[in-house]
Amino acid sequence: MPAAACWGWCPSAMSMRITPASRSATSRCCTLTSTAGPRNRRRSHWTEPGRAGAMPVVSLANIPRTELLAALLSVGVGVALLVVKFIAYALTGSAAIFSDALESIVNVLASSAALYALMVAHAPADREHPYGHGKIEFMSAGFEGGMILVAALVILFQAALVVYRGLDLRTEQLNTGLWLMAGAMVINGGVGLILLRVGRGRCSLALEADGKHLLTDAITSIGALAALGVVRLTGWQWADPIGAVMIGLYIGWMGIGLLEASAAGLMDKQDARDQRMLREILDAHVGPTGREPRICSYHKLRHRHSGRYHWVDFHIMVPPELSVAEGHRIASSIEYEIELALGEGNATAHVEPCAECEKPVASSQ
């Protein structure tokens, strides 16, 4: 019995498209704004071919409103808190507050870099960059991680100088310094949570890294407050440089984490969550009991990120009796389902004849 008859396939089933009613209620991230079909929607990722060597159009207009407001908020708040923390340092002479103020310099530079990265990342793909410009977000995260590491080294060096030269803490201004640092901590924590939420919701590594950085800054402020609190309550001034050392070690660890995430993205490391989701989708179509459109098996599944954009390719096996048009319709339907699940992405399926379609086999990597 032919495989097509055995599986009960028919042209109407094979030409089935994903309809709004059959779509998943929610996607992993990056909600689609287009209702066009998969092929038309892919074309929206491109611009008209430009001249060779042309640079992408870098403009604030490239950035979606939510991401733009979050990035501008980060830069503005970072500058304001930088001034506040250096005032607190000038009043107290605290090594812990100086450490936190240095971290704020990094915040401003990193937030500015993230804003520029978003302008480039959202520029449409072109002839010179057919996969878009999204990888600059990984570069932005790497820059931020590197700056954090530099700040950590400066903080540790400054703490060592304090220990070597002796303490110069102006305890009469501790109360003012404590209040300033407490206010900075609350603001940094709030803005960091906003950036983290927007970054994860929009699949923006630049914003997510910036949010984590601000939350790190809030934690360093807690460390500075704790050190000054010990000095205020006990009079033991060595708590100040010890607090600075602990802050330096902590933000250094955070900087290494951002560098690792940046390197993973630039080297196209596969996301484990995406891998599970893609396999669930493809496995659901395999075999005679799979949902329409059915396939015999799949293999060579690969996927990577270009910033917020996902690129997926895989091979599917179908009965050899099917026409090219029918195989294409099956592939397009599954591609479209994957793209909807990812939010923003491009899935490409290569169709192959199944030599054992009478006995469909499980998928292999």
Q: What percent of the chain has pLDDT over 70?
A: 79
* 79 HSE (CA, 13 A, CB side): 6
- CA distance readout (Å), 22 to 17, 27, 285, 329: 9, 13, 14, 17
Same fold flag, 60-266 and 270-365: no
**pLDDT score of 4:** 41
| C-alpha torsion sign, points 233, 239, 240, 245 | negative
The Cα angle at residue 278 between residues 277 and 279, in degrees rounded to 5: 95
Name the CATH superfamily, with its identifier, for domain 270-365.
Answer: Cation efflux protein, cytoplasmic domain (3.30.70.1350)
At residue 349, the pLDDT reads: 96
342-351 mean pLDDT: 90
What's the predicted TM-score (pTM) here? Answer: 0.65
**pLDDT level of residue 169 (50, 70, 90 thresholds):** low
The pLDDT, as a whole number, for residue 328 is 94
Cα–Cα distance for residue pair 224/226, rounded to 1 Å: 5
Domain 60-266, what fold?
Alpha-lytic protease prodomain-like (1.20.1510)
Of 65-69, 117-121, 216-220, 251-255, which range is least confident?
216-220
Residue 45 confidence (pLDDT): 47
Domain residue ranges in the chain: 60-266, 270-365
Write the pLDDT tens digit of every residue in 36-64: 344 444 434 444 444 444 556 777 887 88
Residue 103 pLDDT more than 70? yes
Which of residues 64 and 6 earns the better pLDDT score?
64
pLDDT of residue 300: 94
Q: Which range among 39-53, 170-184, 315-329 has the greatest average pLDDT? A: 315-329
Residue 92's pLDDT band, with cuts at 50, 70 and 90, is confident
User: 277 pLDDT exceeds 90?
Assistant: yes
Which among 12, 9, 353 is positioned nearest to 1, based on CA atoms?
9
* Segment 10-27, tens digit of pLDDT: 433 333 333 333 333 334
